[in-house]
Structure 1
């Protein structure tokens, strides 16, 4: 059995039957598809509640290259196993804009595409040109253009078709603005508000921000003072911050056993040391029940529960 404790940023103890370190798509030939398997990047957005009864495929595909460029934009191809923040830093150092507001989000480039990560009014889908994939046990490779990826809020085609392994992502970045100031401000804000995942076991934002109706929003405004809301593509729906709802109910910094939320963000769950995945899941379910009871809203997980 393979110990997964240090392959997930929550550092919960779990084991898997086997592990494949994927340095090339060709390594997929080692995978037995007649048994359970799971693709894993940095392990920054997953909660193992029990042992995994199959093979973990750890994505270690590396490489960055310029495909084409002109005076206004550049197209780059980034391997799925590249560290996301390192890619953002590389882009900013080259004065290419489009991903600077997404600095310091833990994870890999492949996982960023799968989850359509976003922060500070920027989503990765706006910069993605296409996503390259392989399918285990076949010689099949596919390229999905932006539309085919079916991006939505923290969603994509790949989240619901887990047989597709993202191997590389192509981005279109602009040369017409200077991203450094936004990049530095993003790092400053995230450093002040969020724990350093390399030192404190966490999976980042645990829940998605709820998308609710205008009628629900009116009721929330009557309950919560200074509630910040965000428009969606549908004028009948509004996004509200899950962290604010949890703050309102006293979840910020709340400790139960070896699990807590961050003292500056109730949306971030922390393993204080020695907590099991089941304990963290139970804690998160208490949070969801509290939100349902008080606001009649169903919080959706942003992390993958395994």
Structure 2
């Protein structure tokens, strides 16, 4: 019978990670288990930064953004001897199971630990929404709301000064934040990973809108262009629209999680403990609607992302008709 559970957050922080940690702690404590957080993810696991926590700790973090447990990049965890030392640290404290909250890199670490005898359950903590085994990852909803709020604010000043503004959002090669945020925020042009517009396409579309609308909002995923500030200069020169670039950056990671991120994360935390008590390991949790589902970690990582091309094309066609 497992008596102690460890919890770590790894990779980029996302709103709702604390809610997931809280769910694990409160349910595990209700089952009579001891709970421990590992500070700074896999780095802390290697360095034995392990701290016992209780329900009072869980109560204090459920509504906070970021991760109270801390996070750090630690690529050295791929090395077997590094993992062996980390496992020794767990065994010295008689911690037999681990809940890992993070993105795909964190999942791979959890899989390796499972293969080495530590019961691991992984939860999808990333604002990018790029873990396809879950319809919405922990943090996505909060980051999306921040983006929409930012678009609304930027449009106000763009409209006041008759400007075009290019807004770069996070998401790496997954364009969900840009696409969902662009649509919800009423953007005029959206360019996403998987369906990027060329610089020439953006310049052409903005140029056609000049004289038809007072302001233009362009939303793009990060890493699509060498520099959105340079792109803004090119757009202004070609279109005649005064153009600015705004990189939202890490503001998208901060702030209190939304109610849905808290709810989803907390209930996933409870489910993780249930699976551990059932003797399960090497599983990744996700959601399909309100249902919490689980997959073997390797299977979860191999599920292809659903194409957003149809939705992106429909949105793009609305604005094509507008500027014909």
TM-score range, shorter chain: under 0.3
Higher RCO structure, 1 or 2 (CA under 8 Å, sep 6+): 2
Q: Where is the helix percentage greater, Structure 1 or Structure 2? A: 2
Structure number with the higher strand fraction is 1
Please give the TM-score of this superposition, normalised by the length of structure 2: 0.24
